[in-house]
Amino acid sequence: MRHDHLITSKQLSRGDIETVLDRAAEIDEDPSAVADRYADTLLGLLFFEPSTRTKMSFETAMKRLGGDVVDMGSVESSSVKKGETLADTVRVIEGYADALVLRHPKQGAAQMASEFVDVPLLNAGDGAGHHPTQTLLDLYTIRENAGLEDLTIGIMGDLKYGRTVHSLAHALTNFDVHQHFISPESLQLPREVVYDLHQEQDGTQIREHESLEEILPSLDVLYVTRIQRERFPDENEYQKVAGEYQIDTDTLEAASDELTIMHPLPRVDEIAPEIDETDHAAYFDQAHNGVPVRMALLDLLLGGDDGGVRDD
């Protein structure tokens, strides 16, 4: 485990996922048991794109384990501005830190960067590619609210550019889950993702829809995502789909009382604030779960010797 990288959720077996989630639950129960475990450990943060939750929860996780972070800071204030390559940047920062967390606008950047370093590198989002640590906290939240067995989930919004969706959908193929993908036609899952999902799971468990209405009553979980405006090559294309698929209390009249609503956040206008006060809303807990889940992951990668994440 000590030198493994986490680049995509495809690396994660069901056993790996359960190891991380179980460890996170233990830590959630008694964070004091690990409070000083990593007193001499430094986590390197390299965020080439905006981040609030992912960056701050990694920082909180490392500090709650007794360690600290070294942060490259914004692209504007770093040597990236002078033309330094990503490969050189990660090679330098691995000399300062025991593990690296990388977010980058280019799909494939984390995979490429991981080939230049020996310390564990965690992909915190590579363009429209993957976001596997978000997936682990999503799975933790699903397990807490609805369970991961015999689950029917709707994943709605920007399925084309949404990296949290790509990672979550792959990880869910490890479980007995019916996945319904709801989006406008122009934002459907990339065909290669659908192909991969069909390879990994009996195709009858994966369905695509343009309307939420037909499927809403059967859902245990509805995972809503933001339209990823920054990834559209053309602003006009964004304007055509902006504001589609908003949910409010009227939409939810057809839903089960038990429906759990999730969102990786930030939201723009996909979920009306009136839903925040209902029992359906799990998205703020979901964000908070980022801390114990990332503590568990760091613990398993930096010190653990009992299973966990394997290299691809």
Q: Nearest to residue 167, comparing CAs of 123, 221, 218, 231?
A: 123
Non-local (6+) Cβ contacts of 55 within 8 A are 45, 47, 101, 103, 124
Rounded least distance, CB 63 to ligand NCD, Å: 19
**In contact, 217 and 254? CB cutoff 8 Å:** yes
Helix (H) or strand (E) holding 151: strand 151-156
Rounded least distance, CB 53 to ligand NCD, Å: 5
Residue 82 annotated among the catalytic residues of the structure: yes
Residue 121's DSSP bridge partners are: 100
Rounded least distance, CB 233 to ligand NCD, Å: 18
The one catalytic residue in 54, 89, 141, 225 is 54
**Cα torsion through 253, 255, 257, 261, rounded to 10:** -110
Amino acid at the residue 246: Q
Whichever of 31 and 105 has its CB closer to ligand NCD, that residue is 105
Residue 207 annotated among the catalytic residues of the structure: no
d(CA 303, CA 70): 19
Rounded least distance, CB 90 to ligand NCD, Å: 20
CA-CA distances (angstroms) from residue 233 to 108, 204, 239? 18, 33, 12
Residue 163 annotated among the catalytic residues of the structure: no
Whichever of 56 and 194 has its CB closer to ligand NCD, that residue is 56
Name the residues that contact ligand NCD, by CB under 6 A: 53-54, 125, 131, 134, 163-164, 226, 264-265
Whichever of 73 and 266 has its CB closer to ligand NCD, that residue is 266
Rounded least distance, CB 244 to ligand NCD, Å: 15
Whichever of 254 and 272 has its CB closer to ligand NCD, that residue is 272
Tokens of 209: 């829809």
The one catalytic residue in 5, 23, 55, 103 is 103
The one catalytic residue in 23, 104, 130, 131 is 131
Whichever of 167 and 201 has its CB closer to ligand NCD, that residue is 167
Q: Which residues are catalytic?
A: 53-54, 82, 103, 131
